[in-house]
Structure formats: structure tokens, C-alpha cells
Structure 1
Amino acid sequence: MHMKRRALLGTTIAIAALAISGCAGGGSGSEGDGPITLEYWAWGTSQKPLVDAWNASHPDIQVKHTDAGGGTDSSAKLVTATRAGNAPDVALVEYNTLPAMIVAGVAADISDAVGDLEEEYAPGVWSQATFDGASYGVPQDAGPQALTYNKARFDELGIAVPTTWAEFADAAAAVRAADPDAYITTFAPAEFGGFAGLAQQAGAEWWTVDGDAWTVGFDDEASVAVAVYWQDLIDRDLVKAEPLLTPEWNAQLNEGNILSWPAGLWAAGVINGVAADMAGQWAMAPLPQWTEGDSAVAFQGGSAAVVTTSTEHPEAAAEFAAWIGASEEASAIQIEEGQYPASLAGQQLTLDSEPPALMSSQTDYWEIAAQIAADTIPEITWGPNVNVASSAFQDAMSAAVTNGTPLRDALTETEEVVVEDMETSGFTVETR
């Protein structure tokens, strides 16, 4: 995250903090009154085993886990719950939505409780949850983009793993020629984070800030080039344009008709959750490159555990957030579930770990993951209304796919909504 953006958010954050101080909502008693129960909202396959492990070793602070939906759904619910005074004590928040959660008064400043953890993280990762010099969360996992692919089917069809997006397009055609029922991948119109990562890999910057002035560029040259690339694959029926993880999509995946997923490293755990019988058939490779030789990739996802302003147990909540983000025990659980830990110790631990179940035969999985993580773009500026942008993107892209209109036009429509919302909120905005 850029320091300039943090500084700009600082005034807004300070105002929000004044408005919410002293307004903490429900809870289950205070420290010193006996066992404490914390409410924790988080999604993903690793969360239940993480909470179970914490509860087994912390009898005085018990955690109740609720899956409140994925990152976008959970963030919207957090804002509503905070306004009602009944938000959970701790919540998992994606890095790209954390600025909006701070401005909305959801995430509390926990610098005093977790500041000493900074040395446990690479600067680029720690900065994902740090704004205006204050820490608002403990990074839990990192999601640099990679290519998760069905190695068994690639081998069966004689498809080489593409190293560039031009090769990926050729491979997509080869898959269709070899098996008319199969597609190399899916273009999912609602995947805001996925498209954002591919655009950032190509050089896009959807938000930048200079002093008090924001520049917004959802339809900049790089983003339009990415949209045109996928438009071509859709028009030639070389990829499926449909939502991910629906019953229909899951069935096609299990039948071996969807052969890859360009996504964050967490994709292994997600696919294994819906296609456990395919364990051992898949593998992971670096994401194809837009420019041959340029190995930089973006984060897609990745999240931090935040302590909410509604908690009555800030010390206990911060202790849990620190453990779930930075402890070796928690990292080991994440690794087992296919997540890539955010902490340096956790990333080092992967090198001595078995690969995720989905690619159990890929002995170099974690070495490749470490290489990809090292090539991740360190500074991405996310704007203060990512939730608005995500919703507008999903609506515009889904309509474009349904109506057969250009994907590039959906980027322009998204930008118009984002700019109008920022101007209404009082930001000075220019377009690129």
C-alpha cells in the first residue's frame, strides 16, 4: 500500500475513530471475569481447524467461528453489523477491502498490541494491513496468482504448460481440438479480484493518489488489453464464460472438462474442497506472462485478521488475531489446507511441508510457490471504495457476458460508478 494513500486515509480514519469510540457493542464479559468467548467471522477451509486448535490450547479464551461468506459478502455484513453494534470481535478481511473497512469504522487500531510482529513479515505483506503508520490487522495468508492446472488431463491431451498468455491462447485452442467437451479454463465475469490481478500483472493501476487527488483508471490501456484478450477467447469458444463454483461448474471440473484456474495460491484448497477425488492429479505453475521474461504477478486475495471496534475484549481479540496470523502452529494448519502463509516463518515452514492434497505428487510445489511469492508486485494501491467497484464490476461484466457486449465497455461502466461514488463521498478524482 502506498504511504501517500495511507496519509490521505488518516484524516478520515481519525474522524471515524472519534465517532465510534466508546460505542462498543455486545460481548461476553471483560478480561478477568473468567473464560471469554470471542466471535470470529471468516471463510475458507482452514478456518475451522485453526479455531479448533486455538480452542484446544486456550481454555480461557474460546472462539466461536462463523462463516459469513467470502470476502465481499463478509465485508458488507461487517459494515452493517458494526452500525448495529453487534459485529464479531475478530474478522477476516481481504487486503483490498481493508481500506473501506477502516473508513467505515469496522477495524480497530491494534498497533500497541501487534506492532512487534512487523519483523515477522516481509514489508510488502505487512503494509497490506498498515495505514498512516497504524496497524489494523495481522496478515494471515498471501495469495499471489499462479496457474493451478489438471496435470493428468494436460498430459493426456498433450498440452504443454503455457509460460506466456500468448501460449495460453494457443493451448486453449489445442484443448478444444483434442477434446470438444473440454476447456482450458473459465472466464468468470464476477471475479473482480481475479481480473484485477491479471490487469495489475499487465501494468494497470486502477487507483493512484497524489496528495489529496485520486486518479482512477479502470479502462486504462493495460486493463483494456486484458479485456480484449479474454474477449477473443470467449468469442472463439476457447474458454467458458460462466460463474465459478456453481454445481454445474463443479461437475464439469470433476469430469475433467475444466483444466485450469489462474488464481491465488489458495486455489488448491478450494478445488480440493469440491473435487477431493482428483487429489494427486493437479499441479501448480507460475502464472503465464504478458511480456516474456517479466515474472511479476499480483496478489489475488490474501487476508488479515482484524479486531473490530465492536469488541468488548480488545486484548483477547488481538491475542487471537496475532496467533492465527503469525504463530507456527497456525501456519502449519494453513499449509495443510493449501493456503500460503503471510508470515516469513510460515513461508519458510512450507519448504519442509508436504504439498497440498490436490497436487500431492508435485514435490517442488512449495519451492515454486516461494519463487512466485518473491516475484509478487509489492505495492498496489486500492481505493477507499473497493466494495463499490467490485459490485459495479460484477454487474457490468456479467451483463456483458449475458448480452454479448464488449468486456472493455464493462470496464468503462465500472469506472463511471467508482468515480461518481468517490466524488459523492468528497474525494477529488480524475480519470486516466
Structure 2
Amino acid sequence: MPKHSRRLLRGLGLVCVLGLGATACGGSDDDSGQKPVGASGLQAALKKGGTVTVWAWEPTLKQVATDFEKKYPKVHIKLVNAGTGNDQYKALQNAISAEKGVPDVAQLEYYALSQYALTKSVTDLKAYGADKLEGSYSPGPWNSVQAGDGVYGLPMDSGPMALFYNKKVFDKYKIAVPTTWDEYVEAGRKLRKADSKAYITSDVGDAGMTTSLLWQAGSHPYTVDGTKVGIDFTDAGAKRYTNTWQKLIDEKLVSPIAGWSDDWYKGLGDGTIATLATGAWMPANFASGVKDAAGDWRVAPLPQWEKGANSSAENGGSSLALPTLGKNKELAYAFVEYANSGAGVQTRVRNGAFPATAEDLNSQAFQDTAFPYFGGQKANKIFAESAKSVPAGWKYLPYQVYSNSIFNDTVGKAYASDTKLVDGLKSWQDKSLDYGQEQGFTIEK
């Protein structure tokens, strides 16, 4: 076997599907012919009991697992944080390849789920009645868990974007909350002039953040038609993003502290990182990771690329899926349905999660919820409005996990050297297309 094929097989397994066939991927047989499992089958499994291993990093699932165990005393939910995002995906793919240690349930972000569905590494949940839940979810998240005729996860949350800002810092230096990205750059300049240790935000190069801002700017870099893919980071929307963000980098207005690190949490707590443009799932992370800054932070609509516009984007958002090699499928699905469609949704919402369920998203009670962490602000109104303002038509690559994994070696160089963002994006584009061609995809120029 060629060296690059061995590397790819260890990585994401797409060679298996496009070249060797799904059963050579370390997964089990295709489950498309699985017999339906009715409610009685799920109840029987819950009555019998057992252990369900769940790999997830989302903090509100801890209380959901506790509540589920109280309701079903014979079931034990073993909640494991195997890493966030790509770290977990690497661990999951290693387990799948080794056919050992695969969890029963895995948290998969929407951009990653289709890849696992393509390689038959996750179970089609239609056999458990998941397709009947379509009307329960808002269209975006529901579309994200489908691939072909299958339903490969249940939406856990969504990530319409907003601007989280430290009101205490903004008030101290008399900085107006920016409504456009140009105003955001000006706010960054004013903050740095007032306090040389403070930054408008932290950014060392993040693939999810970059694609979200491109999305909001009206860019459509990815074209996907089955196994035909194309990438173009030179459209008008991409130019809006690079022109603005290059200023932030060149003028050293963004902190060089990596996100989710101890220093990052410290910066959010002491005000030296003054804003975050991110998804509506963030409040739970503020409450658990930046406790001492409770009351300092607020939420505002995402700054616009053009004054008076009303456009947002999704950033993050996850599903819970059942890896094909996992065990206790009935128990695993019962937990996923409880967490993402049943009583667990309200538990998670109370603890700061942002729902993908339409009823909760549109309810007056949800939108009127006051967040003590944000000084009693009814932040869900801003998040819900953002969810309605996400432009349609965005697509990810069917191997976006791999593409994101090389972001730091391409675009990331713009944050640590003289490389310009436009050049970093071109490098990311070329290397991502090369990989797709190696995997057997047809590349559209």
C-alpha cells in the first residue's frame, strides 16, 4: 500500500469509501437494512439496563446524564471528554480504525457529521424512528444531520453568532459597541491605545471562525455536488473578510493567546480579551469557565460587513450520533433522544445551551429568559434573531475535518509570520483540493 494511502486510512478513512468499499474501513456492515426498533424495544432496553459510553465535551450534558440515570436506575451513562472538536475526532477515528474502544455515542459537529456518514462510521437512526422527529427541529440543524436518505444524528444545538463583549471594559474606556466590522477595528485601536495589555479579541487562526465570517460576508467558497468539489477563496465576500481581518493582524489588535487555553479563560476573566464573536452555545462556557467575570459581559448582534445590513452565520453546533461500532444501540439512542428531543433539552437550555428544537427556540419563555451572568440581559432574543438571519446556501467540504486540520499550517501562518491572509487561504485551498483528489473526489477548477 502506498505511504500516503496508509496515512489517509489512519486519518479519516475516506479512501475506504471512495476506493476500497465501506466494509474495509474498520466499520461494521452497512446498517441500511436494519430492522425498525419501536418504542417497545427502547423501553425493554431501558428496563434491562446497561452502560452507555458518551464522548462529548458540551458541559450541560453532565446534568442530563445525571437526570437520565435517576429516571432509569439500571442505566449508567459514562460521560467522557475525549477532547474538543478535532482532538476528539482524531481519537474517535483511531478507535474506529483499531475497532477497539469506540464509544456508544459521540458528539459530532455539523461540519464533521457528513464525513462520518459517508464512511458508514455512524448509524442511520431511521431504524429508531429519528426521521419522525423532523418537525421538532429548526430547518438548518435538521438538514445538517441528514446525508442521502439517512438520518445520522439528532441535533443537539445550533450556533447562530453574536458578539459577546465585556461591558465593564467598554464602559471604562468609553468604547461604543461596534455595529460594523470597520467599527470593530476602530474599537480595537481605541482599546489598545487605552491599555497596551488589552486586545479586542483573541485569534491565532481558527478554521471554524474563519469559515463562519466568510459565510456572514456572503462568500461561498465550497461547491459540492456528490463527489465533485471545488474551492475558491477569492470571491467578493472573501475579500471583505481578508481586507478587514488583515488590519487586525497587522496592527496587533488581536491577542496571540490560543482559544480554550488556561490563559484564554484568564484573559476573558480579567478583561484583557474584550470580545468574542462566536456561537450562541457560548454562555454555558462563560458560566463554567469564567465565573469571576459574571456581570461584566453582555451580548450584542454580530457586527455587519455593510452598515445597515442584517446578516449572521452559524458557528459550531453539534449532533449526537451513534458510531457503527458502538454497543448498546437501543440504550444509546434512548439517551440521545432524551438529551436532544426530550426532557434533556430543557435541562440544557436552563444551563445555557442554545436549542435546535423549533418549539424551544420560538417560545416566549425561552426568549424572555434573563441571564444572570450577563447582568440579567435577555440574550436569547439576540440569538434567536441571529438564527433567522443566517444566509442560505452555505456548504462544507465532505472532508472538512481534514481540511480544518491543516488550517494552522496554511492560513494560520498569517498570524505568526509575514504571510498574508489571502496567501494563507490560497495555500489552504490548494492543499485541501490536493487531498480531495487523493481521496478520489473529482476536483472542479
Q: Same fold (TM over 0.5)?
A: yes
**2:74 is the alignment partner of 1:68:** no
Give the 3 Å change call, closer, same or farther, for CA 246–18 of structure 1 in structure 2.
closer
- CA-CA distance at 1:44 after TM superposition: 2.3
Q: Is the contact between residue 400 and residue 410 of structure 1 (CA under 8 Å) also seen in structure 2?
A: yes
Percent of paired sites with the same residue: 30
| C-alpha distance in 1 between matches for 2:359 and 2:136 | 7
CA–CA distance in 1 between the matches of 2:48 and 2:182?
Answer: 61
Cα gap change, 1:99 to 1:33, in 2 (>3 Å): same
8 Å contact from structure 1 (residues 88, 311) kept in 2: yes
The count of aligned residue pairs is: 413
Residue of 335, 342, 345 corresponding to 2:359: 345
Cα gap change, 1:220/1:257 in structure 2, threshold over 3 Å: closer, same or farther?
A: same
Determine the structure 1 residue equivalent to 2:382: 368
Match of 1:42 in 2: 56
Q: What per-residue deviation string (whole Å, max 9, x for no partner) do you get for residues 33-84 of structure 1?
A: 9322111000022121121111111223321110011121112221221222
Deviation string for 1:245-272 (max 9, x for gaps)? 3233332322212110011112222233
1:428 aligns with 2:434: no
Q: Unpaired segments of 5 or more residues in structure 1?
A: 1-10, 25-29
2:133 matches 1:117 = yes
Partner Cα distance (1:318, 1:116) in 2 = 14
**142, 156, 171: which one pairs with 2:187?**
171
Distance in structure 2 (CA, Å) of the matches to 1:90 and 1:171: 43
- Tell me if structure 1 keeps the 8 A contact 2:82–2:88: yes
CA distance in structure 2 between the partners assigned to 1:379 and 1:305 by the alignment:
24
State how 1:66-145 maps to structure 2 within 5 Å.
66-86=80-100, 87-113=102-128, 114-145=130-161
CA distance in 2, matches of 1:103, 1:301: 20
- 1:284 partner letter: V
1:282 matched residue in structure 2:
297
Structure 1 residues 88 and 23, CA, compared in 2 at 3 Å: closer, same or farther? farther
Query: In 1, distance between residues paired with 2:29 and 2:241?
Result: 47
State how 1:203-352 maps to structure 2 within 5 Å.
203-210=218-225, 212-327=227-342, 329-348=343-362, 351=366
- When normalised by structure 1's length, the TM-score is 0.89
Q: Does 1:159 find its partner at 2:175?
A: yes
RMSD (Å) for aligned C-alpha atoms: 2.5
- Over 3 Å counting, the alpha-carbon distance change for 1:211 and 1:351 in structure 2 is closer
For 1:310, give the aligned amino acid. Answer: L
Alpha-carbon offset, residue 313 of structure 1 = 2.1
> Any unmatched runs of 5+ in structure 2?
1-16, 32-43
TM-score, length of structure 2 as denominator length: 0.86
Query: Secondary structure of the residue that 1:229 maps to in structure 2?
Result: helix
Instruction: Decide whether the 8 Å contact of 1:109 with 1:134 is kept in 2.
Output: yes
- Decide whether the 8 Å contact of 1:354 with 1:360 is kept in 2: no
Moved more, 137-146 or 95-104: 95-104
User: What's the offset of the Cα at 1:162?
Assistant: 0.9
Amino acid at match of 2:304: Q
1:307–1:314: 8 Å Cα contact kept in structure 2? Answer: yes
Amino acid at match of 1:260: T
